[in-house]
C-alpha cells in the first residue's frame, strides 16, 4: 500500500482546527495526522504515526472490518462520541466527537479510513471557535476527494512516464501547438531530429526553416487542411539538419483538436526520423532502375529477331513457326511493359519525371487511346460512353499513360468478352474521367490500398494474373502531380470504376 505521510495533498488540512488522521485499515496503523489531531489528543506526531490506532486510542475508537466494508458500500459518514484517551491531561473528562469515512480507490485498489475529531462544545469551556459536526463532515469528504484525486494524479504521472518511455523506445519525438498561446512544443528527441538546442524557444518558422524548400508547399497545405478541415496530418519530407547540415527524412503524423464551437485548440503529433528507411528505399530503387535499364536492350533486340523470324516464316509459308514467333513477340511485349513500369517508377521516385503541361482537347486524347485499345485488345469491347470537348492543361503523354494503365487493368481483371466503358464529364472546375469494367471487382477492405506501391490484392481470381503492383501507384503519382484526385469504387463480381479528376484549363 502507498503511504500518504507528508504528502502535499493533505497539507491544506495542516491549518484546520478539526483533527484529521488517515488509517490504513489493512494493519490499523496511523499513516497521517494533522496538528489539530495531535493537539486534541495531546500527543505528538511521533507518538501517533505508524501506531495501531485502537491500541493507542482505545477500543471505543475501533471500526471493525465489517463496519468498514458497510461504510464503503453505503458511502456513509459514521459519527461517535468518545471520551478522550487517559493521556489527555485535562482536569475533567473530555468528550470528543469522532467522524469516520471509508475510502476505496478503484485505480490503486487501496483502502483508507479517515478519522476526524472535534471537541464537544460543552466538554472544554476554555476553548473557543470549536467546529461543529457539519464542519467535520465537510473535512472528511474533502479529505476523501483529496485521497482519490491524489491517486489519480499519481496514475496520470505514471502513465505519462510510460508514454514517454514508449516514445523513447520507439525513437519517436512529440510535437504540439497551442493555438490560444501560439506556443510550439517539441520533445527532446524531436529537437534532436531537427538539430535544435534543448533550451531554444521553438517556433513554427524555425521548423519550416529546416524543411527543404521543395516540401514547403506540401507542409503548409497539410497544416492548413488539418486546421480548416480537421484532416489528420501524415507528411514525409526532407530537412537540412540545423546543426549537422546533413539531409534527413522525417515523417510527421498529427491531429488538430477542436472545441465544441469548432475552434482549433491544439495540435498534437509524432515525429519520426525515417532517414535509414528512405536510404534503403533509395538503394532498392537504384537497383531496380539499373536492372530494368540493363534488361531493356536485350529485350528490344530479342523483339527485333522475333519480328525477323515472323517475316521469314510468312515468306516461307511456315505457319507453325509463324505462330510460335507471334507468341514469343507477345510475351516479349509483356516483359517490355513490366520493365517500362519499373523504369517509370524509379524515374518517378528519383524526381526525374517532370510534368510538362500543355493545353489539349481531352476528347481527342480519349478517342486516340480508345482507337489504340481497340486495335490491340481483341478480347474486350472498349467503348466511349460520353465525353464532351473540353480543354485541359496537363502532361498529355502522362495522362495517356494513366488511361492505358487503367484500360489494361480493366482487361486483366475481367473475363473475355466483357465491356470496358470510358466516360468524361465536367465537374465544376475539374474534368472527371472514368474507366468502368465488368470484372472481378475489389473488396471494400482492400480498395483503399490498391494505389500503394507494390500492393496487389491476394485472392483466388488474381493469383494467376501477373503484375507487380506499381501501375496504379504510378497513376496516382501522376494525377497527384496534376493536383487531381484518383479513386476506385467496386462491387465484387460486378466490376470496378476507376475515376480521376484533372483541373480544367
Tell the smallest beta-carbon distance from residue 493 to ligand ADP (Å).
Answer: 11
Sign of CA dihedral 439, 342, 217, 191: positive
Cα dihedral sign for 293, 294, 295, 297? Answer: positive
* Piece of the chain touching ligand ADP by CB under 6 A; list 43-51, 269-277, 395-403, 462-470: 462-470
Rounded least distance, CB 271 to ligand ADP, Å: 30
For residue 269, state whether it binds ligand ADP (rule: CB under 6 A): no
For residue 338, the minimal CB distance to ligand ADP (Å) is 8
**Residue number, 469 or 503, with CB nearest to ligand ADP:** 469
3-state secondary structure of 198: coil
Shortest distance (Å) from residue 454 CB to ligand ADP:
8
CB 388 within 8 A of CB 350: no
**What b/e sequence results for 377-413 when a residue is b if at least 16 CB atoms lie within 10 Å of its CB, and e otherwise?**
eeebebeeeebeeeebebbbebbebbbbbbbbbbbeb
Residue 195 DSSP SS3:
coil
> 102, 222, 402, 450: which one contacts ligand ADP (CB under 6 A)?
450
Among residues 325 and 406, whose Cβ is nearest to ligand ADP? 406
CA distances 321 to 267, 313, 316, 317, 335, Å, are 69, 6, 10, 9, 21
Instruction: Kindly state the smallest distance separating residue 473's Cβ from ligand ADP, in Å.
Output: 6
Q: Is 462 in the site for ligand ADP (CB under 6 A)?
A: yes
Q: How far is the CB of 479 from ligand ADP (least distance, A)?
A: 13
Q: What is the smallest separation between the CB atom of 157 and ligand ADP, expressed in angstroms?
A: 48
User: According to CB under 6 A, which residues from 468 to 487 bind ligand ADP?
Assistant: 468-473
With b for 16 or more beta-carbon neighbours within 10 A and e for fewer, the 87-125 pattern comes to eeeeeeebebbbbbbbbbbeebebbbbbbbbbbeeebbe
In angstroms, give the least distance from the CB of 436 to ligand ADP: 9
Residues 214-236: b if buried by 16+ CB within 10 A, e if exposed: ebeeebeebbeebbeeeeebebe
Site for ligand ADP contains 342 (CB under 6 A): no
In contact, 190 and 271? CB cutoff 8 Å? yes
Distance in angstroms (rounded) separating the CA atoms of residues 432 and 427: 6
Nearer to ligand ADP, 269 or 439 (CB): 439
Minimum separation from the CB atom of position 301 to ligand ADP (A): 25
Nearer to ligand ADP by Cβ, of 209 and 385: the residue is: 385
The residue (of 177 and 470) whose beta carbon lies closer to ligand ADP is 470
Cell numbers at residue 379, please? 478480347
Nearer to ligand ADP, 395 or 437 (CB): 437
Q: How far is CA 412 from the centre of its chain?
A: 35
288 near ligand ADP (CB under 6 A): no
Give the single-character DSSP code of 211.
Answer: B
CB nearer to ligand ADP: pick between 223 and 498: 498
Applying CB under 6 A, the span of 94-102, 146-154, 199-207, 448-456 interacting with ligand ADP comes to 448-456
Q: Residue 212 Cβ, how far from ligand ADP at the closest point, in Å?
A: 29
Q: Which residue has the cell 470510358?
A: 422
The strand pairing partners of 29, in sequence order, are 24, 52
Considering the complex, state which of residue 173 and residue 495 has its C-beta at the smaller distance from ligand ADP.
495
For ligand ADP, which is the closer residue by CB, 191 or 456? Answer: 456
- Nearest residue to ligand ADP by CB is 467
Which range of residues in 76-84, 255-263, 297-305, 449-457 is near ligand ADP by CB under 6 A? 449-457
Least spacing, CB of residue 316 vs ligand ADP, in Å: 38
Residue 85 binds to ligand ADP (criterion: CB under 6 A)? no
Residues 375-434 that bind ligand ADP (CB under 6 A): 409-410, 413
What is the C-alpha to C-alpha distance for residues 304 and 301, in angstroms, rounded to an integer?
Answer: 5
Would you say 19 or 439 has its CB closer to ligand ADP? 439
Cα–Cα dist 422/402, whole Å = 13
Size of the site for ligand ADP (CB under 6 A): 21
Which of 457, 478, 486, 502 touches ligand ADP (CB under 6 A)?
457
Q: Between residues 177 and 479, which has the closer beta carbon with respect to ligand ADP? A: 479
For helices 396-412 and 471-481, the axis angle rounded to 10 degrees is: 150
Task: Check binding of 437 to ligand ADP (CB under 6 A).
Answer: yes
- Helix 396-412 to helix 362-376 angle (10° resolution) is 40
Region label for 42, one of left (φ > 0), alpha (ψ between -120 and 50) or beta (otherwise): left
CB of 499 vs ligand ADP, minimal distance in Å: 12
- Residue closer to ligand ADP, measured from CB, 467 or 503: 467
Q: Measuring CA to CA, which residue among 56, 53, 59, 78 is closest to residue 67? A: 78
The binding site for ligand ADP (CB under 6 A) comprises 409-410, 413, 437, 439-442, 450, 455-457, 462, 467-473, 496
Amino acid at each position: 500500500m502507498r503511504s500518504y505521510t507528508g504528502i502535499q495533498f493533505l497539507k491544506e488540512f495542516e491549518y484546520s482546527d478539526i483533527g484529521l488522521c488517515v488509517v490504513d485499515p489493512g494493519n490499523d496503523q496511523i499513516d497521517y495526522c494533522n496538528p489539530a489531531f495531535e493537539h486534541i489528543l495531546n500527543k505528538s506526531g511521533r507518538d501517533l504515526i505508524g501506531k495501531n490506532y485502537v491500541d493507542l486510542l482505545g477500543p471505543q475508537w475501533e471500526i471493525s472490518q465489517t463496519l468498514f466494508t458497510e461504510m464503503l458500500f453505503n458511502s456513509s459518514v459514521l459519527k461517535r462520541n468518545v471520551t478522550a484517551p487517559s493521556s489527555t491531561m485535562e482536569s475533567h473528562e473530555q468528550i470528543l466527537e469522532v467522524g469516520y469515512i471509508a475510502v476505496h480507490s478503484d485505480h490503486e485498489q487501496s483502502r483508507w479510513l479517515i478519522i476526524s475529531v472535534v471537541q464537544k462544545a460543552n466538554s472544554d469551556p476554555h476553548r473557543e471557535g470549536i467546529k461543529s459536526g457539519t464542519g467535520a463532515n465537510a473535512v472528511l469528504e474533502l479529505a476523501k476527494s483529496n485521497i482519490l484525486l491524489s491517486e489519480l494524479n499519481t496514475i496520470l504521472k505514471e502513465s505519462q512516464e510510460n508514454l514517454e518511455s514508449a516514445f523513447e523506445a520507439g525513437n519517436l519525438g512529440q510535437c504540439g501547438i497551442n493555438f490560444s498561446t501560439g506556443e510550439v512544443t517539441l520533445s527532446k528527441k524531436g529537437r534532436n531530429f531537427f538539430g535544435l538546442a534543448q533550451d531554444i524557444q521553438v517556433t513554427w518558422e524555425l521548423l519550416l526553416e529546416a524543411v527543404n524548400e521543395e516540401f514547403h508547399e506540401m507542409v503548409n497545405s497539410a497544416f492548413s487542411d488539418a486546421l480548416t478541415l480537421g484532416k489528420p496530418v501524415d507528411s514525409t519530407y526532407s530537412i537540412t539538419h540545423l546543426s549537422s547540415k546533413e539531409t534527413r527524412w522525417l515523417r510527421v503524423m498529427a491531429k488538430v483538436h477542436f472545441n465544441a464551437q469548432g475552434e482549433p485548440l491544439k495540435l498534437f503529433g509524432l515525429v519520426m526520423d525515417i532517414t535509414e528507411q528512405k536510404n534503403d528505399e533509395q538503394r532498392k530503387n537504384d537497383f531496380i532502375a539499373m536492372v530494368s535499364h540493363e534488361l531493356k536492350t536485350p529485350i528490344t533486340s530479342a523483339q527485333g529477331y522475333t519480328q525477323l523470324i515472323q517475316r521469314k516464316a510468312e515468306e516461307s509459308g511456315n505457319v507453325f513457326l509463324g505462330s510460335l514467333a507471334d507468341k514469343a513477340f507477345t510475351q516479349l511485349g509483356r516483359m517490355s511493359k513490366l520493365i517500362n513500369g519499373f523504369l517509370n517508377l524509379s524515374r518517378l521516385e528519383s524526381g526525374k519525371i517532370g510534368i510538362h503541361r500543355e493545353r489539349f482537347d481531352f476528347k481527342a486524347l480519349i478517342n486516340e487511346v480508345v482507337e489504340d485499345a481497340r486495335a490491340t485488345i481483341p478480347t474486350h469491347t472498349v467503348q466511349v460512353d460520353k465525353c464532351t470537348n473540353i480543354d485541359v492543361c496537363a502532361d498529355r503523354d502522362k495522362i495517356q499513360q494513366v488511361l492505358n494503365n487503367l484500360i489494361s487493368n480493366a482487361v486483366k481483371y475481367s473475363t473475355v468478352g466483357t465491356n470496358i466503358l470510358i466516360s468524361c464529364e465536367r465537374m465544376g472546375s475539374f474534368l472527371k474521367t472514368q474507366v468502368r469494367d465488368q470484372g472481378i471487382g475489389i473488396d471494400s477492405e482492400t480498395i483503399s490500398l490498391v494505389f500503394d506501391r507494390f500492393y496487389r490484392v491476394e485472392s483466388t481470381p488474381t493469383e494467376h494474373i501477373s503484375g507487380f503492383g506499381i501501375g496504379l501507384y504510378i497513376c496516382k503519382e501522376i494525377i497527384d502531380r496534376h493536383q487531381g484526385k484518383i479513386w476506385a469504387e467496386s462491387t465484387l463480381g460486378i466490376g470496378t470504376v476507376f475515376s480521376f479528376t484533372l483541373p480544367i484549363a
